[in-house]
Structure 1
Amino acid sequence: MTRPIVGIIGNHHLINDQYPAHAGGSMNSEAVAEVSGAMPLLIPADPRFVSVDELMEACDGFLFTGGRPNVHPEEYGEAATEAHGAFDRARDSVALPLIRACVEQGQPFLGICRGFQEVNVAMGGTLYPEIRDLPGRMNHRMPPDGTLEEKFALRHKVSFTPGGVFARLMGADEVLTNTLHGQGIKRPGKRVVVDGTAPDGTPEAIYIDGAPGFTLSVQWHPEWRAATDPVSRPLFQAFGQAVAAWAAERAPAPVRKIA
């Protein structure tokens, strides 16, 4: 039986600071394949190579991943500053219209970290360039040193709306997550529902109100040990079920043999 296909939105990357490449973390593919039960397909996020219509035809769902480059602030009406960091305008040009099209059509997607921020911007929201510079906010950035285990360690709680979408999915109103981001939601976009927050009030879990499909997105990185983490696993499982349902809905009817 053919698995549904999840397009993983990649990032522009330089190998040895010289050779251009499209990159995606292997843990994203592992989570999609092992927990969501879908076939991961890395997407070169550049409008020179792909279009929204082609992607939606080729894939059953999408994973909008994290990445070092940030969404360019011009996408939400602000000027770029040094605090905004590096950018990937090609990914902006693919991801933002793709998110809006998926919301409209009901095609499932899962947003992670930068992907979470992309969803907010795509729906008309804005971002803070640096959360740790805000009064009363904690440092949500990845520790600069240490092993991967130390960098992806669980570091703060996320509180969900009691009885809300995430609380029902997780079976709990509060969970423990990792945190590896610098930017965060400033103003939620139209129809963006903040369903989970960190202890300092930073939005951590969102979905799109009234969307016909799966639109859950999180600010943390659930792809880390997704198969065993009690918070990550139900998220990727639910995403996989939504993608499978979409694939089944649009699958052509089998040809009946005429005796």
Structure 2
Amino acid sequence: MSAGEIHRPLVGLVCDRFIVGEHDLHSAKHSYIRALMSCSLVSPVLIPATQDIDSLEGYLDGVSGLLFPGGASNVEARRYGGTLNIDMMVDPDRDHVALELMRGAGARGMPFLAICRGFQEMNVAFGGTLHTDIHAAGHAADHLEDPNEDLPTRYRYKHDIDLCAGGRLAALTGEQRVRVNSLHRQGVAKLAPPLAVEARAPDGLIEAYRLDGNDFALGVQWHPEVTVESDGMSRLLFEAFGASCRRYAVQQADVQMKD
């Protein structure tokens, strides 16, 4: 079987869980779904965020890739030995699902893309720690989100990042420096040992990394899903992710045929 025969493999998109009025909801922003469908050329399926799920192996068996999106909440400090900040919104149900899925995908060599909150989850999943507040830790204010701004203003390009020579992003774009729409409150404190830095902001904060050994396992701190139609690097990122998911689907289909 060839990659051309796998047109649109299933890719899991991890949901957030939150309360709206009296309703307990699982949701994912349409911008991620749109980018996966129009650019990665895959079929997204939503994975609920709930601690009621005892085993996530069935989800891993059923998809050919995973996307860990951004979200309003932050990774709970207890997950990485940090200090509780009562002002921060958390989503322990998403933590439960996302961290286990990410470790499972890493062990299987399954492609995954982690964005913003997903980027932070990636560091925690593989043994790293986070700053609960990067501004308080001495990093520049241009990383932070202003909820009083309208969405187009909020997701504008905020600062440059320097791409590491020999990295996946540098090879993908052919660039050494690009501008990104990064907005976040948490950030990397101690990098997880299996991760390799792909990009840094001018103030030294890590903005992207990869998990070596996987065909595609990349975390980015910014929001390429918002600019996928207008920004070359964003489009290349989603296209490369989709291509890797198709290769993985072919490999899994070949294994099943041999069995």
Q: TM-score, normalised by structure 1?
A: 0.92
Q: Residues 50 and 63 from structure 1, CA distance in 2 versus in 1: closer, same or farther, beyond 3 angstroms?
A: farther
Deviates more, 1:74-83 or 1:125-134: 74-83
Contact residue 182 and residue 223 of structure 2 kept, 8 A: yes
Render the CA deviation track for 1:205-242: whole Å, top value 9, x for unaligned: 10113x23311110001100313311210100110000
CA-based RMSD = 1.8
**Number of the residue aligned with 2:168:** 165
Alpha-carbon distance in structure 2 between the residues aligned to 1:189 and 1:130: 18
Question: Percent identity between the aligned chains?
Answer: 36
Correspondence for 1:5: 10
Matched, 1:100 2:103: yes
Distance 1:253 1:133, change over 3 A: closer
SS at match of 2:175: coil
Contact 1:44 1:50 in 2 (8 A): no
Determine if contact 1:131/1:139 at 8 Å carries over to the other structure.
no
Structure 2 matches for 1:1-259, cutoff 5 A? 3-15=8-20, 17-49=21-53, 51-82=55-86, 85-209=88-212, 211-251=213-253
- SS in structure 2 at match of 1:131: coil
Quick one: structure 1 residues 254 and 159, their matched pair in 2 at CA, closer, same or farther if it must change by over 3 Å?
A: closer
Contact 2:82–2:130 at 8 Å: present in 1 too? no
Encode CA deviations 1:13-65: one digit per residue, 9 max, x unaligned: 222x3211101000000000000000011110213147320111111100001
SS of structure 1 residue aligned to 2:199: strand
Tell me if structure 2 keeps the 8 A contact 1:5–1:60: yes
Deviation, 1:204, is 0.5
Q: TM-score of the superposition, structure 2-length normalised?
A: 0.92
How far apart in 1 are the matches of 2:142 and 2:160? Answer: 14
**Structure 1, unpaired ranges of 5+:** none
Q: 1:98 to 1:136 in 2, by over 3 A?
A: closer
Structure 1 distance, partners of 2:116, 2:102, is: 15
Q: Alpha-carbon deviation of 1:136?
A: 4.8
Question: The residue matched to 1:55 in structure 2 has which SS?
Answer: helix
Contact 2:7 2:246 in 1 (8 A): no
Q: Work out the number of aligned pairs and report it.
A: 252
Write the distance in 2 (CA, Å) between the matches of 1:137 and 1:74. Answer: 25
Deviation at 1:165, TM superposition (A): 1.7
